[in-house]
């Protein structure tokens, strides 16, 4: 299935790839490119009955691989533990996955996944300095940058810390903290040697002193030469869009996610996440509307690769997943 989505200044082609074999699909998966194909792992869903009917959330340790040109995903092994809601990036050596949660709590473990002889090889890497969930990561040069997230379960905290992993030295260091609010479920991207942190969810105390969600529109850019720079705010709130976000034509694309316009609607009545997107012009420091995505999804990974990006599963609406996989191709537009 193909859908060409046109805007005033951009054109994207959405193509549905083979769906994962689990009919429920997952949120909070890890994904990346390796071995001439796509590798996805982990995630969580409600396999027995929906969230609003008291369904129990279940984590998975399954790893799937879709070789380029093939028409079905293959289960190629298991993670060391059921794991979800961490961060993953493609590296020259394989797919690096970092932190997340298990049913027991927040984790700091990191692994490098690759496929050899039709089976996944899971190599343990140095752990994150702290356990993290809801964080985001991006590869820029030979370093992986991890920003934000929570170190406690159940949205009790939101961090603004920056951790940097050197692929060559295989070690973590801590960089200068994000100058803005701590956040989770934010979007990240990289362009021209700089990383970007966009939107997300912060926490603020309510009248009873308990943390509650605070929808952030801040945008930030970082490089080791210039440090943190505040950018133009997002025109509207955006969290949990596919990340790392693709960069095409000098613009970072936030393809869907949660814009909070349907917050407070009971899950059983929720119509699904809005099909809306934003594009940030990295040269002009401004935002513009982007073509509506073919599907509305949140809490899902993105695998950018040149003029193509792939998004995997995610939530259709709170508590309801999708097993669909979509490729988005940059068809060009005004630069």
Helix/strand/coil percentages in the chain, nearest 5: 0, 50, 45
**Mean pLDDT, residues 27-55 taken together:** 95
**What does residue 314 show for φ and ψ, rounded to 5 degrees?**
95, 180
First to last CA, the chain: 28
In this prediction, residue 7 has a pLDDT band, given cuts at 50, 70 and 90, of low
State residue 6's pLDDT score: 52
- Chain segment 208-264, per-residue pLDDT in tens: 888 899 999 999 999 999 999 999 999 999 999 999 999 999 999 999 999 988 988
What is the per-residue pLDDT for 335? 43
What Cα–Cα distance (Å) separates residue 160 from each residue in 11, 56, 149, 179, 220? 35, 31, 8, 8, 12
Q: Which of 4-8, 33-37, 242-246 comes out lowest in average pLDDT?
A: 4-8
Neighbour count for residue 36 (Cβ, 10 Å): 10
pLDDT at 138 over 90: yes
- Percent of the residues in the chain that have a pLDDT greater than 90, as a whole number: 87
Please give the structure tokens belonging to residue 263: 């917050």
Per the model's pLDDT, the better-predicted residue between 210 and 277 turns out to be: 277
* Residue 151 CA: distances (Å) to CA of 43, 88, 141, 160, 227: 18, 17, 27, 11, 24
Alpha carbons 110 and 167: distance in angstroms, whole number: 13
pLDDT tens digit sequence for 142-181: 999 999 999 999 899 999 999 999 999 999 999 999 999 9
Residue 207 — pLDDT band, cuts 50, 70, 90?
confident
- Residue 2: the pLDDT is 46
The three-point CA angle 246-247-249 to 5° equals: 140
Q: Which domains occur in the chain, in start order?
A: 2-333 (2.120.10.80)
CA distance 239 to 125: 28
- 3-class SS at 52? helix
At 88-102, the pLDDT tens digits run: 999 999 999 999 999
* pLDDT for the residue 332: 77
Given a cut of 80, whether residue 3 has pLDDT beyond it is no
Average pLDDT for residues 314-327, to the nearest whole number?
96
Residue 63, C-beta contacts closer than 8 angstroms, at least 6 positions apart: 39, 40, 41, 42, 75, 76, 77, 78, 79, 113, 120, 122
Q: Count the Cβ atoms, other than its own, within 10 Å of residue 170.
A: 10
Q: Report residue 26 as tokens.
A: 């997952």
Average the pLDDT over 72-88 and give the result: 98
What average pLDDT does the segment 62-86 reach?
97
DSSP state of 181: -
């Amino acid at each position: 299935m193909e859908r060409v989505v046109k805007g005033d200044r951009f054109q994207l082609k959405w193509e549905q790839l083979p769906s994962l074999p689990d009919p429920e699909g997952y949120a909070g998966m890890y994904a990346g490119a390796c071995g001439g194909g796509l590798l996805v792992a982990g995630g969580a869903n409600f396999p027995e009955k929906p969230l609003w009917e008291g369904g129990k959330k279940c984590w998975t340790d399954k790893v799937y691989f879709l070789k380029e040109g093939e028409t079905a995903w293959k289960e190629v092994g298991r993670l060391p533990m059921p794991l979800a809601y961490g961060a993953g990036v493609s590296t020259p050596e394989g797919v690096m996955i970092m932190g997340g949660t298990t049913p027991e709590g927040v984790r700091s473990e990191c692994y490098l996944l690759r496929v050899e002889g039709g089976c996944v090889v899971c190599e343990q890497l140095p752990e994150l300095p702290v356990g993290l969930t809801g964080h985001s990561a991006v590869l820029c040069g030979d370093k992986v940058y991890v920003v934000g997230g929570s170190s406690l379960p159940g949205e009790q905290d939101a961090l603004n810390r920056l951790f940097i992993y050197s692929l060559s030295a295989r070690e973590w260091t801590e960089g200068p903290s994000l100058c803005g609010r701590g956040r989770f479920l934010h979007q990240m991207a990289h362009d021209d040697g700089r990383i970007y942190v966009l939107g997300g969810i912060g926490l603020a105390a309510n009248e009873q002193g308990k943390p509650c969600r605070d929808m952030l529109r801040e945008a930030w850019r970082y490089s080791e030469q210039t440090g943190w720079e505040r950018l133009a705010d997002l025109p509207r709130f955006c969290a949990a869009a596919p990340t790392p976000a693709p960069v095409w034509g000098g613009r970072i694309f936030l393809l869907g996610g949660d814009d909070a316009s349907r917050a407070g609607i009971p899950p059983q009545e929720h119509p699904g996440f809005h099909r809306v997107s934003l594009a940030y012009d990295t040269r002009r420091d401004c935002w513009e509307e982007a073509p509506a995505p073919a599907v509305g999804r949140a809490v899902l990974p993105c695998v950018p690769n040149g003029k193509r990006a792939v998004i995997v599963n995610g939530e259709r609406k709170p508590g309801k997943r999708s097993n669909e996989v979509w490729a988005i191709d940059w068809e060009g537009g005004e630069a």
